[in-house]
Amino acid sequence: MKVIATVKEMQAWADRIRRRGGRIALTPTMGYLHEGHLSLVREGQARSDYLVLSIFVNPTQFGPEEDLAAYPRAMERDCAMAEESGVDVVFAPTETELYGPDFQTFVSLERLPRHLCGRCRPVHFRGVATVVAKLFNIVKPHVVVFGEKDYQQLLVIRRMVADLNFDIEVVGAPTVREPDGLAKSSRNAYLAPDHRESALTLSRSLNIAQDMAAAGETDPQRIVAATQTLIEKAPHTRIDYVEIRDPHTLERVDVVEGSVLMALAVHVGKSRLIDNRILTPGG
Ligand code: PAF
């Protein structure tokens, strides 16, 4: 496995592979790898000849009050896990390599970031779209894999790829969960044991929401209220949002009919956790 830190070397590697007709997959990450990331790696490997895993804690997607400095980092452990998983290249640039002193070009979307996490984290999706566009130009992948846990991020990337005509296939991979239902996340590392118990209310409340929809509840506000009550009862929780939205536009829905997205973001102790589920109503 190669570890590459410079844009020039990464682009030269990608050009060499493309000249030979090789197909490149990219899994972008901010490191502190877990089983969720490795499932994205496997998904990419199944669709390509070479898998590139990028590790970069991207400063432009963190607001001034957010956890950039505290974000967990474990480069050596990450490289060992990547090698074990058959990754061909780890691309791990420094901050100055990606953002020079005169950097001033950003990619921002008009509508999708107005909702959900974009409302609570105003610069977040501009930072994500910008760094991902840069990674596309540096790694030159044919296919990229993103997790469905970050549902809004996946929509943003799909929109950007379509709007800016990147010739790249975007694959969404299912959320990987602990046996008790907690969605895998690097931010779970901040959870103390009693906080972890409270964090379980995210996936439990999504299950309750699905049960209500399957039982014929069509009022999104009643489903949201039931899930909020469950989460608020757990200690150390503070809800950012619990919402039922159109799964394509993220706009509000008045009635739960067809498939809808239920998405939530909750602070549990020091961690801000997100989770989501597509609710499918029953008769
Ligand atoms: O999902 C993440 O880890 C990040 O938002 C990403 C896509 C690697 C961009 O920094």
pLDDT digits (tens, 9 = 90+) for 72-114: 999 999 999 999 999 999 999 999 999 999 999 999 999 999 9
Confidence (pLDDT) at 190: 86
**Phi/psi at 232 (nearest 5 deg)?**
-65, -25
Q: Under DSSP, is residue 260 helix (H, G, I), strand (E, B) or coil? A: strand
Does the annotation mark 115 as catalytic? no
Q: Residues 178-231: pLDDT tens digits?
A: 999 999 999 898 899 989 999 999 999 999 999 999 999 999 999 999 999 999
What is the CB-side half-sphere exposure of residue 18 using CA atoms within 13 A? 13
CA-to-CA dists, residue 171 to 107, 151, 158, angstroms: 21, 12, 9
Nearest ligand 1 atom to the CA of 58 is: 10
pLDDT over 70 at 161, yes or no: yes
CA of 10 from ligand 1 middle (Å) equals 18
CA-nearest residue, atom 5 of ligand 1 = 128
Residues 6+ apart with CB under 8 A from 193: none
Query: What is the fold of 186-278?
Result: Pantoate--beta-alanine Ligase; Chain: A,domain 2 (3.30.1300)
- Across the chain, the runs of DSSP E, i.e. the strands, are 2-4, 24-29, 50-55, 89-91, 143-147, 169-173, 237-245, 260-268, 271-279
Confidence (pLDDT) at 283: 52
CA of 45 from ligand 1 middle (Å) equals 19
Determine which one of 34, 37, 124, 236 is catalytic: 37
Share of the chain above pLDDT 70, in %: 100
Instruction: Report angle CA 165, 167, 169 to the nearest 5 degrees.
Output: 115
At which residue do the structure tokens 């509508």 appear? 111
Nearest ligand 1 atom to the CA of 135 is: 9
Closest CA to 80 of 144, 8, 1, 6: 1
Confidence (pLDDT) at 263: 98
Confidence (pLDDT) at 208: 97
Q: Residues 6-23: pLDDT tens digits?
A: 999 999 999 999 999 999
CA of 243 from ligand 1 middle (Å) equals 22
Instruction: Report the CATH architecture of 2-173.
Output: 3-Layer(aba) Sandwich (3.40)
In the chain, where the domains are located: 2-173, 186-278
In whole angstroms, give the CA distance from residue 16 to residue 28: 21
Nearest ligand 1 atom to the CA of 150 is: 1
